[in-house]
């Protein structure tokens, strides 16, 4: 089957179509940093023809949105399900796209047998077996791992979780120690949201320094980047790029999306456990995005990518959390069933004005 994507021309209007001007995010940024996206199951299996054509054309890195999380890849104490993870590795090989493994140790999306586990020895056994088996299997097959995800509270202290409570405050360092051994050919990252904010950033820096002081390898830090288009913390992002890179590690923006909907708590915390009740007032753009909001959204991406380009020597990858607006987790979080517009491609996989702005900036 031949797929034609007629939309990826500078300008978007048919009068401006120019086949010599086909644009691509990964091409535009190839001398600067990787441009990634998160893939769901249908996309990994190439069941969605429009995504199947778009992803290899636009992106140089992929992260599985869910299928490498422990609940899915390690569903029973002695049982692993590598089917989908093997498929994303094959996808990466087929299109020469780097795969970032997401994620080895996270307090959320844990297998059922791990929930409410009381016995510290059993938690330790799970932790060790999980990292050894999963990181070991994909060593050199994935480019990198988010070894530990979201271990910090907003004030920079260690999050209360089954891992911190049963394994103690060294569990992050221990996770990297095990991952280093199991995956010597794979880059190892710490990943979290809001770590651009001063207190949480200080906590992340302390964690990273602790890993380094133990003589253990950490190659990078992932700032997730779930921000609101109207409220991007540019100054703190800049400070974070400088402070994290001063530790001698790569800085990445790993789950970028710019929400345009109201947040019930006026917050940027991407805690998946936060939930609020639906109301029409909280879903103002169900029938389409007003031009004024689209313009602010585009400006948000422009400001961000100007900053990313300023620090291109310190940044390893920018990954968007999803391929198009219709597939974004932000349609269902923190309120189910809303219509959000956080990415560069719309629900029909058409590039939005922000897409053209981001591509154009790379050429300047
Ligand atoms: O697979 C089941 C399906 O069988 C079931 O019918 C359906 C009913 O709700 O649920 C499906 O699972 C959902 C899963 O996504 C796959 O679509 C879960 O309910 C849903 O909770 C899960 O949400 C994911 C969320 O992590 C869960 O923790 C989002 O897709 C994913 O985008 C999000 O990603 C996280 C990053 O990993 C870490 N940083 C924050 C980011 C956003 O929350």
Supply the DSSP string of 238-306, one letter for each residue.
HHHHHHHHTTT-EEEEEEEEEE-S--TTS-----TT------GGG-TTTT---HHHHHHHHHHHHHHHH
* Beta-bridge partner residues of 165: none
Average per-residue pLDDT for the chain: 93
The length of the chain, given as a count of residues: 364
User: For residues 107 and 114, is the Cβ–Cβ distance under 8 A?
Assistant: no
pLDDT tens, position by position, 183-233: 999 999 999 999 999 999 999 999 999 999 999 999 999 999 999 999 999
pLDDT reported for residue 9 = 39
User: Residue 145 region, left (φ>0) first, then alpha (ψ -120 to 50), else beta?
Assistant: beta
pLDDT reported for residue 265 = 86
Ligand 1 close to Cβ of residue 109 (< 6 A): yes
pLDDT band, very low/low/confident/very high, at 56 (cuts 50, 70, 90): very high
Fill in the DSSP letter of residue 331. G
Ligand 1 close to Cβ of residue 283 (< 6 A): no
Mean pLDDT over 118-137 rounds to 97
Fill in the DSSP letter of residue 20. G
pLDDT tens, position by position, 241-279: 999 999 999 999 999 999 999 988 887 777 878 889 999
Distance 63 CA to ligand 1 centre (A): 14
pLDDT reported for residue 22 = 63
Output b/e per residue, 324-355; b: 16+ Cβ within 10 A: bbbbbbbbebbbeebbbbbbbbbeebebbbbb
Catalytic annotation present for 150: yes
Tell me whether strands 98-105 and 144-149 are parallel, antiparallel or unpaired. parallel
pLDDT reported for residue 17 = 36
Distance 111 CA to ligand 1 centre (A): 13
Distance 332 CA to ligand 1 centre (A): 9
Site to probe by mutation for ligand 1, drawn from 75, 252, 272 as the one with most ligand atoms within 8 Å of Cβ, is: 272
pLDDT band, very low/low/confident/very high, at 15 (cuts 50, 70, 90): very low
pLDDT reported for residue 19 = 27
pLDDT band, very low/low/confident/very high, at 13 (cuts 50, 70, 90): very low
Q: Whose CA is nearest to atom 32 of ligand 1?
A: 329
pLDDT tens, position by position, 136-187: 999 999 999 999 999 999 999 999 999 999 999 999 999 999 999 999 999 9
Ligand 1 close to Cβ of residue 237 (< 6 A): no
Cα angle 188-100-333, degrees, rounded to a multiple of 5: 110
Comparing 76 with 15, the larger pLDDT belongs to 76
């Amino acid at each position: 089957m031949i797929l034609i994507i007629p939309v990826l021309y500078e300008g978007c209007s048919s009068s401006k179509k120019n086949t010599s001007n086909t644009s691509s995010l990964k091409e535009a940024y190839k001398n600067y940093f990787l441009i990634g996206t998160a893939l769901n199951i249908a996309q990994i299996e190439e069941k969605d023809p429009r995504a199947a054509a778009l992803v290899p054309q636009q992106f140089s890195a992929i992260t599985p949105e869910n299928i490498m999380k422990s609940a899915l890849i390690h569903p029973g104490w002695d049982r692993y399900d590598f089917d989908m993870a093997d498929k994303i590795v094959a996808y990466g090989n087929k299109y020469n796209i780097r795969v970032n493994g997401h994620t080895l140790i996270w307090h959320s999306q844990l297998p059922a047998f791990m929930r409410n586990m009381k016995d510290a020895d059993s938690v330790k056994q799970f932790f060790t077996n999980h990292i050894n088996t999963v990181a070991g299997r994909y060593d050199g097959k994935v480019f990198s791992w988010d070894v530990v995800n979201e271990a910090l509270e907003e004030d920079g202290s260690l999050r209360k979780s089954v891992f911190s409570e049963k394994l103690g405050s060294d569990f992050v360092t221990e996770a990297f120690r095990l991952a280093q051994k199991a995956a010597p050919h794979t880059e190892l990252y710490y990943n979290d949201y809001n770590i651009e904010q001063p207190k949480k950033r200080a906590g992340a820096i302390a964690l990273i320094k602790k890993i380094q002081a133990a003589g253990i390898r950490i190659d990078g830090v992932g700032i997730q980047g779930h921000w609101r288009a109207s409220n991007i913390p540019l100054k703190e992002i800049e400070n974070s790029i400088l402070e994290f890179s001063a530790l001698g590690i790569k800085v990445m923006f790993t789950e970028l999306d710019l929400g345009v909907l109201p947040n019930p708590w006026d917050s940027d915390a991407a805690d998946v456990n936060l939930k609020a009740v639906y109301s029409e007032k909280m879903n103002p753009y169900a029938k389409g995005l007003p031009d004024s909001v689209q313009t602010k959204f585009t400006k948000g991406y422009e400001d961000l990518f100007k900053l990313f380009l300023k620090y291109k020597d310190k940044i390893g990858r920018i990954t968007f959390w999803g391929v198009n607006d219709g597939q974004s987790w932000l349609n269902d979080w923190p309120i189910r069933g809303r219509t959000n517009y956080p990415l560069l491609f719309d629900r029909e996989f058409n590039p939005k004005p922000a897409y053209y702005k981001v591509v154009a900036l790379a050429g300047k």
